[in-house]
């Protein structure tokens, strides 16, 4: 991995930030992408990552991110499709409005497709590449009040498997990580919404989530980042089309 050019989306906080930092630690040249420039600047100061602040919700934004990586660092060799909207913005099939459905499906599924398509052109030319999709345990099971999120994360696994088959002959692998509960900013919003709905403290929500795991705790951002970094490594050359769950044995 030393010297490889990596594009990481949703890198201003949470698992994306942890993944960008871990790839930097392992010697990759990282382009971190997110909307919040102050947080990206802090990441850059701490890790040496490059960054571009933009929204990926449009085709122009996706192309801007890819072009920034190419022009500043070189052809993209690793992409981590992590940016997503979570369950706090979601709802049931009865309540969810069309615009909210489309916004979640766009960022959580359409954007990974487009970024993968753009980055894979570089990988095909070089004969080497690593594509990592950040799905979720919600990509394997359904849950109430998260119609769009579950649909998108299930779809992301289908995209991963199709991409793995399409690109394997070019020396490119495509895999997914499926985190369970991780105490990220996005998951905190979900816990807050559940807390308000049920009338219980947020810490009780997190205690319940931890107790649902055989390990009695939830996974950490660092543990998810380590799985991502392995899939991005030279050593993972034989791993393709796989969904790696990082949830300590919990279904969620």
State the catalytic residues.
149
Q: Which helix (H) or strand (E) holds 39?
A: helix 37-47
DSSP codes of every residue in 69-84 = HHHHT-S--EEEE---
Query: For 244, how many CA atoms within 13 A lie in the half-sphere containing its CB?
Result: 21
Task: DSSP letter for 8, please.
Answer: E
Rounded Cα–Cα distance for residues 174 and 153 (Å): 15
Question: Measured in whole angstroms, how far is the alpha carbon of residue 99 from the centre of its chain?
Answer: 22
Asked if residue 73 lies in contact with residue 48, where contact means CB atoms within 8 angstroms, the answer is no
Nearest to 121 by CA among 86, 165, 70, 162: 70
Q: Which helix (H) or strand (E) holds 124?
A: helix 111-126
Count the neighbouring beta carbons within 10 Å of the beta carbon of residue 20: 34
């Amino acid at each position: 991995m030393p010297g490889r050019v990596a594009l990481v989306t949703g890198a201003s906080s949470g698992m994306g930030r942890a993944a960008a930092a871990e790839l930097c630690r392992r010697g990759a040249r990282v382009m971190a992408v997110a909307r919040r420039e102050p947080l990206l600047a802090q990441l850059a100061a701490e890790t040496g990552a490059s960054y571009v602040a933009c929204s990926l919700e449009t085709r122009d934004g996706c192309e801007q991110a890819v072009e920034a990586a190419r022009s500043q660092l070189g052809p993209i060799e690793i992409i981590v499709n992590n940016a997503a909207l979570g369950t706090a913005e979601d709802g049931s099939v009865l309540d969810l409005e069309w615009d909210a459905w489309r916004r979640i499906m766009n960022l959580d599924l359409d954007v990974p497709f487009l970024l993968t398509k753009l980055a894979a052109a570089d990988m095909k030319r070089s004969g080497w590449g690593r594509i990592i999709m950040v799905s979720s345990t919600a990509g394997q099971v359904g849950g109430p009040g998260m119609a769009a999120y579950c649909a998108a994360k299930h779809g992301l696994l289908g995209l991963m498997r199709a991409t793995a088959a399409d690109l394997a002959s070019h020396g490119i692998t495509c895999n997914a990580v499926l985190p369970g509960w991780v105490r990220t900013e996005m998951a905190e919003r979900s816990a807050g919404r559940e807390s308000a709905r049920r009338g219980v403290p947020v810490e009780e929500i997190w205690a319940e989530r931890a107790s649902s795991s055989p390990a009695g705790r939830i996974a950490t951002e660092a543990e998810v980042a380590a799985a991502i970094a392995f899939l991005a490594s030279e050593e993972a050359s034989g791993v393709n089309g796989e969904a790696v769950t990082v949830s300590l044995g919990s279904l969620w």
